[in-house]
Amino acid sequence: MGSPSLASVNEQAAGPVTDPEVAAERRRPALSPSRAADFKQCPLLYRFRAVDRLPEPPGSAALRGTLVHAVLERLFDLPAPERLPGTARVLLGRVWAELVAAAPELVEVVVPAQRAPEAPDPLAEWFASAGALLEVYFGMEDPRAVESEERELLVETELASGVPLRGYLDRLDVGAGGALRIVDYKTGAAPRESGEGRALFQMKFYALALLQLRGRVPEELRLVYLGAGGEELTYRPDEGELRRFERILEAIWAAVQEADRTGEFLPSTGPGCGWCAHKALCPAWGGTPPPYPGWPELRGTAPTAPFGTTPTAPFGTTPTAPFGTTPAAPGGTAPAALGATAPAAPGSTAPTAPSGTTADNPAPDRTAPGRAASGPPPRPVPVAGGMIEP
């Protein structure tokens, strides 16, 4: 969930997968945080993305998110003393150059085909906005004082019920005694309290996957929002809560299988329709979807690679010192400005999961510069036919 990966954006030059979780589903269907959220929002959107795999070229905001995520990933590949704002500035230009070298047309995502000659350079402004997000990051955390075990980590497992899970973590920190902390970067602003459910859904998914893989509940789930000046959401789950969440994922997967059996991935209209890339094919808006192609991988009638054999992401495979064993981040010094100059670029009723039981979960901590943690418990997420626990 989140911004497309560097590899997936490069792939779209040739064809059109923009989400690493969709790319992984080419091997064997599995439930990911993004796809589960898609199905809850609109089963037809799930079908277009996971089954038909229709192209969705990224917008400028998604592309900026990809760039910032890749810079932060590579920053943590470096020795701790080198994780400085100046280094991030260099990486920003380097990663953008790699993106454009692999797919020169990505410049057109940022630069409109027609613009007034006197208008400011949109590429320079966009690039500076990516640098500003990194500047916010350095104001929230000193990466020299943090060590992560993995970055862009593929987690792939199967629940006892047989439901396959697959997703990518931005960062996994492992502390003394094996304490786990999941960190996810968001380049937008923190959601309002009513929108916390979707964010926590993603993090609970990752926490459950790690519980399956490592036999331990993560001590902390941390969402780092870099937009609007920066804010954090932190959450501490317990095993009982994650086991209840497991039942929700099982219900969603059962609904996916039933929709495949009938071929009825029906649309569900809502605010997301306004920016859906597939609106022209949606019958709720007068469109006609392509014939349902079926999903032989889901039914076990097509050869697939053994589950759990996908190699991990290329970065972050070397264990490093655990978090909590380095000095606290120094404070009081503002980071240098980042990214002021851009490098030159080449030329109805829908099948959904049954309603779940909302647990009395503790509220996530919301922290921002100068703001105390606050907020009521996360609210349930409404779907057709009931409510799904966040």
- Are 181 and 222 within 8 A, CB to CB? yes
Name, in order, each residue with C-beta under 8 angstroms of 149's C-beta and a sequence gap of 6 or more. 172, 173, 174, 316, 319, 320, 322
Tens digit of pLDDT per residue, the chain (390 long)? 456 655 545 444 334 444 544 444 456 789 999 999 999 999 999 999 999 999 998 899 999 999 999 999 999 999 999 999 999 999 999 999 999 999 999 999 999 877 777 788 999 999 999 999 999 999 999 999 998 999 999 999 999 999 999 999 999 999 888 899 999 999 999 998 877 888 899 999 999 999 999 999 999 999 999 999 999 999 999 999 999 999 999 999 999 999 999 999 999 999 999 999 999 999 999 999 999 998 877 766 655 444 444 443 333 333 333 444 433 333 334 334 454 444 444 444 444 443 333 444 556 776 654 333 333 333 343 333 344 443
Domains and CATH numbers, the chain: 6-324+352-388 (3.90.320.10)
Distance between CA atoms of 72 and 311, rounded to whole angstroms?
A: 21
- Please state, in angstroms and rounded to a whole number, the distance separating the CA atoms of residues 77 and 4: 20
Nearest to 226 by CA among 29, 53, 88, 23: 88
Cα–Cα distance measured from residue 324 to residue 290, given in angstroms and rounded to the nearest whole number: 52
Cβ atoms of residues 381 and 197 within 8 Å: yes
Q: Is the Cβ–Cβ distance between 308 and 302 less than 8 Å? A: no
Q: At what angle do helices 85-102 and 60-75 cross, to 10 degrees?
A: 130
CA 126, CA 339: separation in Å to the nearest integer? 9
Quote the pTM value: 0.76
Instruction: Give the whole-angstrom CA distance, residue 166 versus residue 307.
Output: 10
Residue 257: count of CB within 10 angstroms of its CB: 15
How far is 385 from 370, CA to CA, in rounded Å? 41
Place of tokens 């786990």: 180
| 206 phi, psi to nearest 5 deg | -60, -40
What is the spatial distance between Cα 331 and Cα 352, in angstroms, rounded to a whole number? 48
Complete edge-to-edge strand list for the sheet that includes strand 180-186: 150-158, 164-174, 180-186, 220-225, 231-235, 365-367
pLDDT in tens, 89-118: 999 999 999 999 999 999 999 998 777 777
Sequence-separated (6 or more) residues with CB below 8 Å from residue 14:
none
Residues 6+ apart with CB under 8 A from 299: 260
pLDDT of residue 301: 64
With residue 89 as reference, give the H or E element that holds it: helix 85-102
Rounded distance between C-alpha atoms, residue 323 and residue 179, angstroms: 9
